[in-house]
Amino acid sequence: MARFLIAMGPLGVRCPGGKPTRPIADFMGESAAALVEKGQEVLLLFSKRPPNEYERRWLAERGIRWEFWGQGRPTTCQHGLTLYRVLHSWKPAVAIFQFGAVNLGLLMSYLVGVPIRIAWYRTGLVQFDRGLIERLIEDLKRLRKTGIYRLATHIMANSPQMVDEVTLYFKVRSNKVSFQYSGVRLPETNLDVMSKSRRRNIACVGGLMRRKGQRALIQALGILRSRGVKINARFVGPGDPSELRTLAAQLGVLDQCQFLGLVSRQEVYKILQRVELAIQPSLSEAQGVAAMEAMACGAILIASRVGGLQSLLEDEISGLLVEPGDANELAEAIERVLKDPVLADRLREGGRKRADFFEMSKRANSHAELLLRLASGIEHG
């Protein structure tokens, strides 16, 4: 039996008997539960806020212990002191950190002498043109991360493409890197009952930021409209939509665009079940949780040929891949699906079969088994 410490954000359980609603936290929580089922001891170290009543119940039912790291991003001296105390009292054999917790987490666990120190690499490098200042800042961050990763005994990436990034850009030895897909909860509704509202509707799920590539989708809507193809798009995710609204107005497609902002995961599922197409036009993407959810909900996925999206779906089988930022190719792909019902049915069925591979319990159990191999010192591919 080994002790594990996993640093993470809130689970997002909001009601009695509910499930975690934040995809990455959900995956890490289910991985912790899988480890406990396999006879291990797990402590989750939460940042931002302590678990609420429903989350505490969820943790207790699964035999998972927890501590609260502190408010905000875990980068302060107070966070460091808290982590030092937790590491000394819990004495984990394995400590796992991700996102903003990686720098401080690896440093403190190295100083304390935790035998196995794992950093998750989930975000991917920004892959589009930037200004001089932006490039300098990114280069400095890359140098810092290269140094921090030397303190890790292992790096976990969430796609084969992210493994390549870690070894190439951060000079991590390949035998220190593994990839492990995150999981997604499959919808409980009967997707064979197809709603007529799926026709000529698009969903684009993701934060409204440059690297998510929503501009290309709006431009594609303009191209399609000029060809007499009018289709409505729902943009789901946090962020300021003013620039996208301006672009849509300039192209004459503002009436086709609906910006819904941040909604619950259950509402995301409902939206994806009502649309014909889900577009993931990202310029940079490590894996693509929204893409997995789209396939699981029966929406036909069209995604950029970048990062983990390239291995997430099989081109022409479970979806279509297009060049990032190419509005013309994206418009062609959308029109092709709309005009070919045989292709649409094939891609939808292929997407649903592919989504089954990412089912939450399967991926969480696979993650737990990989962690156990690392803990026991067994080499793996």
pLDDT in tens, 147-191: 999 999 999 999 998 999 899 989 999 999 998 999 988 776 555
Same domain for 57 and 158?
A: yes
In a domain? residue 190: no
Range of the domain at 179: 3-183+359-376
How many structural domains compose the chain?
2
163, 139, 152, 366: CA torsion to nearest 10 = -30
d(CA 330, CA 258): 19
Contact 225, 200 (CB under 8 A): no
Same domain for 12 and 119?
A: yes
In a domain? residue 188: no
Same domain for 167 and 254?
A: no
pLDDT in tens, 310-358: 999 999 999 999 999 999 999 999 999 999 999 999 999 999 999 999 9
In a domain? residue 202: yes
Same domain for 33 and 170?
A: yes
The answer to whether residue 128 scores a pLDDT higher than 70 is no
Same domain for 268 and 344?
A: yes
In a domain? residue 381: no
In a domain? residue 322: yes
Contact 72, 47 (CB under 8 A): yes
Same domain for 17 and 157?
A: yes
In a domain? residue 12: yes
The owner of tokens 């000079």 is 171
Same domain for 17 and 162?
A: yes
Rounded to whole angstroms, what are the CA distances from 116 to 29, 31, 88, 148, 242? 19, 17, 15, 15, 46
Q: Determine what percent of the chain is predicted with pLDDT higher than 70.
A: 94
Q: Based on the number of CB atoms within 10 Å of its own CB, is 239 exposed (0-12), middle (13-18) or buried (19 or more)?
A: middle
In a domain? residue 79: yes
Contact 269, 294 (CB under 8 A): no
- What CATH number did the domain enclosing 336 receive? 3.40.50.2000
Residue 21 is predicted with a pLDDT of: 80
Same domain for 237 and 338?
A: yes
Same domain for 351 and 372?
A: no
Same domain for 16 and 80?
A: yes
Q: What pTM does this model have? A: 0.88
Q: How confident is the model at residue 378 (pLDDT cuts 50, 70, 90)?
A: very low
* Other beta carbons within 10 Å of 381: 5
Same domain for 44 and 125?
A: yes
The answer to whether residue 15 scores a pLDDT higher than 90 is no
In a domain? residue 319: yes
The answer to whether residue 380 scores a pLDDT higher than 60 is no
Same domain for 210 and 301?
A: yes
Exposure string over 24-57, b if 16+ CB within 10 A, otherwise e? bbbbbbbbbbbbbeeebbbbbbbbeeebeebbee
d(CA 364, CA 371): 11
